[in-house]
Structure 1
């Protein structure tokens, strides 16, 4: 039985400047995802609250297996939460009728991690990108579909578009394939794009170029982004004017404006992630503080430790508090934080 009871609202981030923020297009309210397993239930996501607003980027950061992709799939309506709710324009997607669901499907688009698996190998670029246009009758005929598809390819820097329209995925590089996937998402005039590690399988130079393209589309089209990554350097580059939510074992442990989280990380786990980012300047690399964890082993989701999930690895571990009570995610003066030891004032 899926619990649809309304959870308590998440604490809001402190505003950066006077004036109200735009209303969120997509919201996750206390979402949980529990998978049954041979050794017991696996709480992949345990109460996550996120908001994606127009023209802004929210990066969800954490180690592999922390629940980022599961959260993204729930946000896109590809997986139903065990409890909690996903709201699109304030409407619970689980309560939508067929027409509302169709609008949601067009407005929230998903870019997968693997550019080699996300495209149908027997379809041309034109067929792939124009499929949604034709399915939702957004074009009058094949000639218009081809013209619109060419325009979408040019928007994602696949030029000249005529060189790509009739190609198959195996005839393109990984970066070109991922641009085709972006063009396919843009064809639906989305309000939100969920990018799940969409640059992690690309070379660094191609990665930066693709991030620049996504950033330009965000600014020009006012698209909101939920950007999933394990790399804080990528999050810093793409969402410098946005927000970062740091996830550990299915829970958000720190959430704030990107410059504050990256330049002054508060949670010990965030500090460890920041310290692991490669520093290109040799002088800064030599003087950079390294955070040493008490253990490299990540707890098993089927046998989580009492208290704070991070305490077996935490260098700031305080007996009697960290191993007894689970810290709630509460609002400090400049971020949301879940930690017994680090001050929130």
Structure 2
């Protein structure tokens, strides 16, 4: 992949208390074909001003994990904690505080915005609901401030428009502004840039990055694109998910530049490299199989072993590797690669 962004380096925020945590979080869906373990025991932490990126193929459990973290889905096992307290133990007032503190940005801005509400109505609904704005004038001023904060200017030109009158990038900025209206501590962004053109995507990522730096908002950022994860979460961490489990986690520069798990190496290998010289010398990882195992019939041992180029018979296919710390703030779940590369 291309060299790291200049002037930026990893910041260790792991000593700060977590705002949002998952501990052994599981989500199992019952289907006619059997139980589907969409998320199979995940431990994650989101801290103020930190970006935690969940990366993996479609269907690996990223969105289900995000929905549990946001309180939109009840885990079938484990816990989701807000400032150290399990969501199920929160009282009515504390639950309302959690709802304001943790905001969700969906992938499709057109589907997530009410088509019969104007931008003004969308942005002020939460303010009125939680008593954060008194009167129409104050609510309108707050809406203008929110639009300016996400670089949707002139704000007055957009307040009375409906979603169908906006471009995809403008709609997503309205969705970001709606999340900011609650003065959140954590924003969960679920593939929030995947439907946008590349130039608009970079602009929105820059806006989100400024909000992270200026307001100290923590991000749980979900993407299947490691290039996007590298750009937005360079100072944060990446957790790589495969079939409902985290198989590698660590500081973004380390995971991107020195991937250890064979699956992470395959993801990095699949990223398009714009530099011709780097593209010619880039390592190409060839998987043993392109087929992803069925969640209702998972293989024995390591879930990745049917596709893994480093597969060792009698080891990888008999015991599931635990996620363990290997030094340097890196977590890894692999029998074959168990230390620094």
Residues 293-344 of structure 1: CA deviation (Å, up to 9, x unaligned): 0000000000000000000000000001100000000000120000000022
Match of 1:323 in 2: 317
Deviation at 1:37, TM superposition (A): 0.6
Deviation at 1:19, TM superposition (A): 8.8
TM-score (norm 2): 0.95
Structure 2: how far apart are the matches of 1:20 and 1:225? 14
Structure 1: how far apart are the matches of 2:85 and 2:119? 34
Unaligned runs of 5+ in 2: 1-9
RMSD value, Cα? 1.1
Match of 2:275 in 1: 281
- Select the residue among 215, 221, 227 that pairs with 2:209: 215
Q: Is the 8 A contact 1:331 1:344 kept in 2?
A: no
Find the residue that maps to 1:253 and give its secondary structure: strand
**Stretches of 4+ moved more than 6 A in 1?**
16-20
Match of 1:343 in 2: 338
Deviation at 1:189, TM superposition (A): 0.3
* Length, aligned pairs only: 330
Structure 1: how far apart are the matches of 2:169 and 2:12? 40
Unaligned runs of 5+ in 1: 1-15
Find the residue that maps to 2:43 and give its secondary structure: strand
Match of 2:108 in 1: 114
Find the residue that maps to 2:248 and give its secondary structure: strand
Structure 1: how far apart are the matches of 2:12 and 2:103? 31
Q: Is the 8 A contact 2:13 2:50 kept in 1?
A: no
Structure 2: how far apart are the matches of 1:120 and 1:79? 22
Query: In the TM superposition, what are the counterparts of 1:33-52 in structure 2 within 5 Å?
Result: 33-52=27-46
Match of 1:62 in 2: 56
Structure 1: how far apart are the matches of 2:136 and 2:203? 31
Structure 2: how far apart are the matches of 1:20 and 1:309? 29
Structure 1: how far apart are the matches of 2:62 and 2:236? 18
Structure 2: how far apart are the matches of 1:340 and 1:293? 17
TM-score (norm 1): 0.94
- Select the residue among 24, 29, 38 that pairs with 2:18: 24
Match of 1:130 in 2: 124
Match of 1:5 in 2: none
Match of 1:83 in 2: 77
Q: Does 19-28 or 74-83 show the bigger shift?
A: 19-28
Deviation at 1:97, TM superposition (A): 1.3
Are residues 1:257 and 2:251 paired? yes
Structure 2: how far apart are the matches of 1:238 and 1:266? 21
Q: In structure 2, do the counterparts of structure 1 residues 24 and 212 end up closer, same or farther at CA, with 3 Å as the change threshold?
A: same
Deviation at 1:282, TM superposition (A): 1.1
Match of 2:223 in 1: 229
Residues 132-178 of structure 1: CA deviation (Å, up to 9, x unaligned): 00000101101000000000000000001000000000000000000
Structure 1: how far apart are the matches of 2:307 and 2:12? 39
Are residues 1:141 and 2:141 paired? no
